[in-house]
Amino acid sequence: MSRKLIVAIDGPSGAGKGTIARAVAAELGYRHIDSGAMYRAVGWKAVRDGVPLSDEGGVRALAERSTIDIDGPVVRIDGVDISRVIRTPAIDRAATAVARLPQVRDVLVARQRALGEGGGIVMEGRDIGTVVFPLADVKIYLDASEHERARRRAQDPAHTGPTTLAEVASALVERDRNDRTRHVSPLYAAADAQVIDTTDQPIADVVRDVLGLVQSRLTTAR
């Protein structure tokens, strides 16, 4: 039996990470983890509990004492289902602030690595192939044009808030800038990642391409 792999999928908002990662995990029978949901969960709880997002020690302590469970699209923190409430512009901003805190990233990266022990996982995020699993078996970096990413996000029922293309595009540009310029774990494609532009590609074609890369790695891993 082939060993189970770690598949890392990174990229900016709207590039198709979630859709592709879920489909690939389902095809392989692997677990799918959205690492960004962890930052959203911590951001949501910090806002709810009145912990300033600039208080690195306070947010780190909050993350350490919180139990975060991700089961497919369902996200829970301390047993509370927050799947819908963390997909808002306010929590987008909170998650971005939390993700810039090195001590908080240390806590969550350790949990992400624990989830990947033994392989059999498709994890999506912004630093999975560069920081969380730098030795991942398969590394994918998905990207798309700003216009296409904004269009997808505006039509995504999982996200609430502004839906006009101009508003969503503006928010995406700000998020891109924050992700790519933060001092800790900035967003970029790992040197050994396969970069796929999804702008004009059907989902099925991208999934097929990623599965092809996984199958090639499985063949050499036997």
| Sequence ranges of the domains in the chain | 6-209
pLDDT in tens, 109-141: 999 999 999 999 999 999 999 999 999 999 999
What's the CA gap between 84 and 66, in Å, rounded? 19
Cα 92 to Cα 112: distance, rounded to the nearest angstrom = 20
A 10 A CB-CB count for 97 gives: 19
pTM equals: 0.92
CA distance 215 to 137: 11
In angstroms, the Cα distances linking 197 to 45, 84, 152 are 34, 28, 14
206, two tokens: 């991208």
CATH match for 6-209 among 3.40.50.960, 1.25.40.10, 3.30.300.30, 3.40.50.300: 3.40.50.300
Beta carbons of 132 and 109 less than 8 angstroms apart: yes
pLDDT at 163: 63
- Quick: pLDDT tens for 17-51: 999 999 999 999 999 999 999 999 999 999 999 99
